[in-house]
Amino acid sequence: MWLIVGLGNPDDEYAGTYHNVGFRVLDRIAAREAVRANGGWDRCGPALISRKVILSGQPAVLVKPQTYMNNSGAAMPPVFERFEATAKDVIVVYDDLALPLGKIRIRQKGSAGGHNGIKSLISTFGDDEFLRVRVGIQPEREIGDVRDFVLSRVAKSDRDLLEQAEEIAIKAVNTLIAEGLSKAMAEYNGIDLREKEN
């Protein structure tokens, strides 16, 4: 059973922010898999989980921690217990300010890179070996305060690129499940959507 974990903040005021890329990607997957029609989202401790879906022929559950970004890891132990899962069953989708807007990067392990949600997951898992789909949000303009930026609503000028990147993140999740890490990295880590814009 794959656990597809999207990171974000749970309140409506954060729904359209840069920091909620992970939630939006999961919502897009949920819409395609008719999660609402199949019973919607359930509670599992401090997380929302979908009913089981089939992605690329394999069973998966979508997981949205409801603990706020900086404490995302606290939502995972009840989910792990319910599905008898470990960090190796996890694919995490999240925003990354270290990557330019229009790029995604797939990784298998590594540090949190300053992302507090990932830092929290590593602390909870006791392990940094879990699959990640990082969606770049760094625009080409100056952004000022980082916290203010990630919690701000996505600018109109950034929306199209970010939506395209979120769509590619969905494809990357499916490729990770169907064909593995090497194939997914080769296929998606070189994409730069800014080149199409220009």
Residues with catalytic function: 19
Residue pair 60/173 in contact (Cβ under 8 Å)? The answer is no
**Token reading at 65:** 């921690």
What is the phi/psi pair of residue 167, to 5°?
-65, -40
Interacting residues of 44 by C-beta distance below 8 A, sequence separation 6+: 63, 78, 79, 82
